[in-house]
Amino acid sequence: MQSFRTELENPLVEKDILDLARKIELFRDGKIHEEKFRSLRLARGVYGQRQQGVQMVRIKLPYGKMTFKQWKRIADISDEYSIGNLHLTTRQDVQIHFVSLDRTPELWAQLEQDDITLREACGNTVRNVTASITSGIDTQEPFDVTPYADAIFRYFLRNPICQEMGRKIKIAISNSDADTALTYIHDFGLIPKVLDGKRGFKVVVGGGLGAQPMLAYTAFEFLEENQVIPYMEAALRVFDRHGERNSRHKARLKFLIQKIGFDKFVELVNAETIAIKNKTFEIPTTGFSETEIEGYLPTQTASTIAPETEEYKTWLQSNVFAQKQEGYFGVYVRILNGNISSNTSRSLIEQLDGYVANDVRVSINQGLMLRFVPEANIPYIYEVLKAHDLASPGANSIANITACPGTDTCNLAISDSTNITSKLEAVISEDFPDLIYNNDIKIKISGCMNSCGQHGMANIGFHGSSLKSADKRVLPALQVLLGGGTVGNGVGRVADKVIKVPSKRGPEVLRVLLNNYEENATEGEYFNDYYDRQGEKYFYSLLKPVADLTTLKDDDFIDWGASEQFATEIGVGECAGVMIDLVATLLFESEEKLEWTLNAFNENRVADSIYHAYSVFVSAAKALLLDKSVNVSTQNAVIEKFDEHFVAKGEITIAQSSFKELVLQINQNEPSVDFATSYIAEAKAFLALAKAYREQTVEA
């Protein structure tokens, strides 16, 4: 691998990137186990693709914000390191595909020159913090949630409590009770409230989609703003210690709560509060408004005359809204499948810069939003978008379908989710043009049951699957789901699985559903209300003729966008963690964690040093348990099983009565310098003890 210079001002970021480069070299030399290396690169935004030998790189954009300079940087990097495409995701990230692993450190270094990170965009970490894209400009919001999203992102980035959890953590912040960030499907969700003149949030916890969707529990109807981060920190400590680590299918926070019960979860969280870094955390709210950011507001006034066309009027009515700041407007931009080329991006940047705010937001439905557009500039913005084929109306309507990348690049995808999107959108525009204004119905598609396209909470959802014909041939299929969606204020609905149909009949499914709805719904009846009135069995019977496999044609065995006969080719997914099962690797990790412990302590990051020391105990103990072929699935089990297999049997002697008593001092003490000093010394001594024991067993 060629060496490179990072030329970065932040030494922490520079160390991170150089460490990735060093670990890639060690992996290439066979000195790092493949599973360990996978975990490491995922935490740095580098994700394996369906295609061998190339990577998807996920760029982490807190609350979806890009300046024009950042957007251009990403576009240029996509040209240099990828294929010139930017994929906008449902978590407000940007992904670029087909990147060489060896070039990822220099790619990251270039991004960081404009304050863009890959760190913890993937892996078993706190992922991107998403937020309503109208935050700060919405007439219905109690206050701007942007500073809170930003503070949460920064607080947990590189935080030792959430670097190696059993699974990922997703956080969303909605800016009003409309819940446009979909808090109810997240591990942590926040909705702003004002009580007795004080700012705070309704907090929901433990939501998630995937193959087994669960709606979030309400943790607090109102939690003061300075308690939000302390609560999350305590809850993450519980998840880190008690969360599943072996079975990826049971490793999300929702499963931990399901397993132990919500009341027990609350009890464990409360028990952690003595040891958290901050009992309160004041979130700075200055520096985020349009008047506080230099060069934020537009400086140019266009002279374009508004066209007198129905097309323009439809776009204006469905894609433009008045902000709470008088005289300014927000503009939604539809992006098919979330894919926008680097050339288009640069052209838009050149023509939009100065005419809108220097703040472009990626939306959770894979589009863009332009902010602070002066009324005089709206016709000009329309003409610019139209010239780039980006002036389609209905940005928040049924016509704008959300879809994950599916079989284009994802290892887990079963059948196509992108090519069919254009076919379904054509059904809306050609057969149901009046629905361009319908913001009630949301259609979402995923390539598999894992719900990256959020099909599990769609009014009309599809996920990739397969079927077998009478002659045992496999054909691509779609599972149809109905009745999901957002209720509001942290409450949602999970869609019902209704029926499975051949993929090529997806457009017909949509026609049948919408015709039935238009013909039989009462005046003003929402789709979900109509679904509830008729019931799941009614819709199963309605769609059963479309699912008939006795009328299959040869074309049904070829997926959308494909030319060859369909075959299920599912790889190994990387959204979840991997178990490190090599004793030597775990002991090496323990030494590395001890180094992090000492560095943090020397830098006066006392709480961080204590948590790193805790990780030393757990990692070293797990290594010795694995050496005895004792498999454990949580950190808490590591602690208990170590007592059972080593301390109780006298194989290892420690000063305390039990290993549990030694390690869980972390819960019983404030993060003081005195406690850190003694706890770190005990961790160092235990690691030495573990290494000596391992050496004796190897020699024996």
The answer to whether the beta carbons of residues 426 and 508 sit under 8 Å apart is no
Q: Is 522 helix (H, G, I), strand (E, B) or coil?
A: coil
DSSP at 456 = G
Kind plus residue range of the DSSP H or E element containing 24: helix 11-28
Residue ranges of the chain that CATH labels 3.30.413.10 = 124-288, 402-557
Helix (H, G, I), strand (E, B) or coil at 631: coil
Domain boundaries for CATH 1.20.120 within the chain: 583-699
Instruction: Say what the pTM is.
Output: 0.92
- CA 12/CA 68 separation, integer angstroms: 25
- Cβ neighbors of 110 (< 8 A, separation 6 or more) are 73, 77
Give the other-Cβ count within 10 Å of 67's Cβ: 20
Mean pLDDT of the chain: 92
Question: Higher confidence at residue 700 or residue 92?
Answer: 92
> Which residues, 6+ apart, have CB-to-CB distance to 195 below 8 Å?
222
Q: Is the pLDDT of residue 1 over 70?
A: no
Query: In percent, how much of the chain has pLDDT > 90?
Result: 80
Segments of the chain assigned to CATH 3.30.70: 1-64+83-122
Q: How many Å apart are CA 294 and CA 354, to the nearest integer?
A: 13
Residues 502, 506, 507, 510: what is their CA dihedral angle, to the nearest 10 degrees? 130
Query: How high is the pLDDT of residue 2?
Result: 47
Could you tell me what percentage of the chain is helix, strand and coil, using 3-state DSSP and rounding each to the nearest 5? 45, 15, 40
- Over residues 471-503, the pLDDT tens digits come to 999 999 999 999 999 999 999 999 999 999 999
Assigned CATH class of 310-387: alpha beta
Q: Assess contact for 514 and 432: CB atoms under 8 A.
A: yes
Give the whole-number percent of the chain exceeding pLDDT 70.
96
The structural architecture, per CATH, of the domain 1-64+83-122 is: 2-Layer Sandwich (3.30)
Residue 576: the pLDDT is: 40
Overall CATH class of domain 124-288? alpha beta
Say whether pLDDT at 299 is over 90: yes
pLDDT tens digits for range 88-142: 999 999 999 999 999 999 999 999 999 999 999 988 999 999 999 999 999 999 9
Fold of the domain spanning 402-557: Sulfite Reductase Hemoprotein; domain 1 (3.30.413)
Q: Is the pLDDT of residue 582 over 50?
A: yes
- The CATH architecture to which 583-699 belongs is Up-down Bundle (1.20)
Q: What stretch(es) of the chain map to CATH 3.90.480.10?
A: 310-387
Which pLDDT tens digit goes with each residue over 24-57?
A: 888 888 877 777 787 778 888 888 877 777 889 9
